[in-house]
Amino acid sequence: MAQGAEYTARALLALEILTPPTQFEIVEVGHRVTVKFEGDPELDEAGVTVLTPANVMLLKDLFDQKNEIVVSDRSPLGLALLKKRVGLTLKFRPTLSAKILEIGVNPEIFSD
């Protein structure tokens, strides 16, 4: 139990406070990007939220329950999405690519 509390305390100290993105032309940390995956018949269209590693660690359970994808800005998909625009198709694995359909925010993270 003490280890769990210590882990939570470390995670909170490492948490980077995210502010809602103010532009929706180019993907940045905090955006929810709707993508259409190509190259894997099991994947189709999905919402992918790009966060910092610390925020991924703290918010992963929320996304697992919502059938959403959360990625670190340092992961292959996160790195591929950053600084890209709607309409681009990007390859982030040898046989898998994703077309950016929409850039927005996830209301579960940023609410009024």
- Max mean pLDDT among 43-47, 75-79, 106-110 falls in 75-79
**Higher-pLDDT residue of 4, 1:** 4
> Which pLDDT does position 3 carry in this prediction?
56
Alpha-carbon distance of 13 to 20, in angstroms, equals 20
pLDDT-derived band at 9, boundaries 50, 70, 90: low
Question: Token digits for 2?
Answer: 């003490």
Which tokens is 111 given? 């609410």
User: For position 68, what pLDDT does the model report?
Assistant: 80
Q: Which residues pair with 49 in a beta bridge?
A: 32, 70
Count CB neighbours of 43 within 10 A.
14
Q: Per-residue pLDDT for 2 more than 60?
A: no
Q: How confident is the model at residue 109 (pLDDT cuts 50, 70, 90)?
A: confident
The H-assigned helical ranges of 15-103 are: 53-64, 76-81
CB 60 within 8 Å of CB 70:
yes
Q: What is the pLDDT of residue 50?
A: 94
Which residue shows structure tokens 């939220």?
49
Mean pLDDT across 20-47: 92
What is the reported pLDDT for 97?
93
| Phi and psi torsions of 15, nearest 5° | -60, 130
